[in-house]
Amino acid sequence: MHRLLLTTIIPFAQAINLQLDSPSSIKDASKKIANDMMTFYTGDEPGQIPGLLPGSLDCDPGKPNNYCWWQAGAMFGALINNWQYTGDESHNADIQISLLHQSGDQHNYNPSNHSKSMGVDDQAFWAFSALDAAEANFPELEGEPSWLSLAQGLFNFQRKLWDNATCGGGFRWQVVPVNNGYNLKK
């Protein structure tokens, strides 16, 4: 039996019993990790914003329990992968609501509530999760944009941000010109 210690992913993590030759052991360990990860999620609570982790609007990783917007996008992508490989549907509703809500009014992962720190790379994490959902055939909500259309929405939005004027082309780090870091290129 192997023990997996995930202190880099989950602070104060405990060892998880894992038998690498046992699909049920792998699924059980994965479920525990997904459930532990979701204990940080508050976007499903009354008065909170779907898809956000605590601190996502301020993004100060130096503060305890303060996460950036992109980290929530990466988390939901990991949950999609977990569903794909284990069949665990326990977080599907939160994933669906979050991917759709955080896509914004234009369905391009440029929601207005993140304009003060919106990075091109931050948006990409959400689009990668939407692509994971499309590729895994993750259940879509009837009457809502498809996962693929959300990723296409970001592509079409970011295509207009490509800047050939400096540094031989590329994206500026920030989407909004008044944000710190706008003059940095990716």
pLDDT digit string, tens, across residues 15-31 = 888 899 999 999 999 99
Is the four-CA dihedral 112, 115, 117, 119 of positive or negative sign?
Answer: positive
Q: Percentage of residues in the chain with pLDDT exceeding 70?
A: 91
CA distance 109 to 103: 4
Is 99 found in the same domain as 61? yes
Instruction: Tell me which DSSP letter residue 48 carries.
Output: S
Spatial contact of 153 and 91, defined as CB atoms under 8 Å apart: no
Residue 104 and residue 77 share a domain = yes
My answer on whether 57 and 121 are in the same domain is yes
Separation CA 152–CA 158 (nearest Å): 10
Q: Rounded mean pLDDT of the chain? A: 89
Nearest-angstrom CA–CA distance, 119 and 14: 34
Same domain for 84 and 31?
no
Structural domain tally of the chain?
Answer: 2
Please, what's the b/e burial string for 29-44 (b: 16 or more CB within 10 A of its CB; e: otherwise)? bbebbbeebeeebebe
Percent of the chain with pLDDT over 90: 70
**Which tokens belong to 160?**
């207009």
Do residues 77 and 163 share a domain? yes
16 SS3 class = strand
Residue 18 confidence (pLDDT): 87
Are 106 and 156 in a shared domain?
A: yes
37-41, 66-70, 108-112: lowest mean pLDDT where?
Answer: 66-70
Task: Establish if 44 belongs to a structural domain.
Answer: no
- 7 falls in which pLDDT band (50, 70, 90)? very low
Does 35 share its domain with 59?
Answer: no
Model pLDDT, residue 35: 95
Q: Indicate whether 9 pLDDT > 90.
A: no
Q: Residue 94 falls within a domain, yes or no?
A: yes
Domain match, 21 and 101 both: no
| Shared domain check, 170 and 108 | yes
pLDDT of residue 163 exceeding 80 = yes
* Range(s) of the domain holding residue 16: 1-39
Are 108 and 76 part of one and the same domain? yes
Q: What span, in angstroms and rounded, lies between the C-alpha atoms of 47 and 7?
A: 31
Q: Would you place residue 99 in the very low, low, confident or very high pLDDT band (cuts 50, 70, 90)?
A: very high
Q: How does residue 112 score in pLDDT terms, banded at 50, 70 and 90?
A: confident
The pTM for the full model equals 0.87
* Judgement on whether residues 28 and 7 belong to the same structural domain of the protein: yes
Residue pLDDT, tens place only, 49-84: 999 998 877 777 677 778 889 999 999 999 999 999
